[in-house]
Amino acid sequence: MISVFQQHWQELLTGLGNTILCSVIALFFSLVIGSTFAIFEVLPSKFLRIIGRIYIEVFRNIPLLVIGMFFYVVVPQYVLPMDGFTAGTIGLTLYTSSFIAETVRAGIQAVDSGQMEGARANGLSFMQAMWHIVLPQAFKYVIPPLGNQFINLVKNSSVLAFVAGFDLMYQGDMIASATFDTFNTYIAVGVLYLIITLPLSYYMRYLEKKLA
């Protein structure tokens, strides 16, 4: 395993960098998009609730690989040219955002309805009440499941390998097929994934304890 690191550190480092970059971008946008659709689902407007529902059901129930391939193959052909990294990151963002939306919605619904009512009676608009009162409490409730989503996201970023995203998995595949040393290569790749996911996992636990 050490020899794989010694001989291929450049490719592995590139892969690690791309995986982290993709994960950070997808994490940020899936959190924003997911929270937005979670709010859609609890809005008084029936129309927006349905829009939210459709979005979530579509992206939650199609395999990530299909979404990624769609952006890698179909979208560049008819709409907008993009490379594998971009296509994979967009696919991962949309896919993860649907799960985050479900998680955040559950959090919003776990907040006592008196919080929203008190805020509205106090003169705050729905969005002000959501932003200042309900969401901060909702996120506190859902830190553990959200942590799971984040870890899944990092692991799912390996889908980039299928769309030539030059991520960790992709580089691993390249090294393995060039050297035939599959055993050591995939162990090295696994270790590098752990280097990202373990600190993330412990950070989420720390956050959970700190905010409890």
Partner 1 sequence: MSIIEFKKVEKYYGKFHALKNINLQVEKGEVVVVIGPSGSGKSTLIRTINGLEEIEEGQLLVNGYDLADKKTDLNQIRKDVGMVFQHFNLYDNKTVLENIMLAPKLVLKRNEKENKETALKLLESVGVSDKTASYPKQLSGGQKQRVAIARSLAMKPKALLFDEPTSALDPEMIDDVLNVMKEIAKEGMTMVVVTHEMGFAREVADRVVFMDKGEILEDAHADEFFEAPKEERAKQFLSKIIKH
Among 44, 47, 77, 123, interactor with partner 1 by CB under 8 A: 123
Q: Least CB distance from residue 186 to partner 1, whole Å? A: 45
CB of 30 to partner 1, least distance (A): 24
Q: Which two tokens stand for residue 169?
A: 């998995």
Name every residue whose Cβ is closer than 8 Å to that of residue 184 and which is 6 or more positions away in sequence. Answer: 1, 3, 4
* Calpha distance 69→86 (Å, rounded): 11
50, 58, 121, 178: which one contacts partner 1 (CB under 8 A)?
Answer: 121
Part in contact with partner 1 (CB under 8 A); list of ranges 8-16, 61-69, 116-124, 174-182: 116-124
Query: Quick check: 205 binds partner 1 (CB under 8 A)?
Result: no
Stretch that binds partner 1, among 68-76, 95-103, 118-126, 147-155 (CB under 8 A): 118-126
Q: Which residue has the tokens 């412990």?
A: 202
Give the other-Cβ count within 10 Å of 202's Cβ.
11
Calculate the alpha carbon distances from 43 to 51, 52, 121, 135 in Å.
11, 10, 17, 13
Residue from 114, 180, 209, 210 in contact with partner 1 (CB under 8 A): 114
Is 110 a binding residue for partner 1 by CB under 8 A? The answer is no
Burial of 49 (0-12, 13-18, 19+ CB in 10 A): middle
Sites of contact with partner 1 (CB under 8 A): 112, 114-115, 117-125, 128, 132-133, 136-137, 140
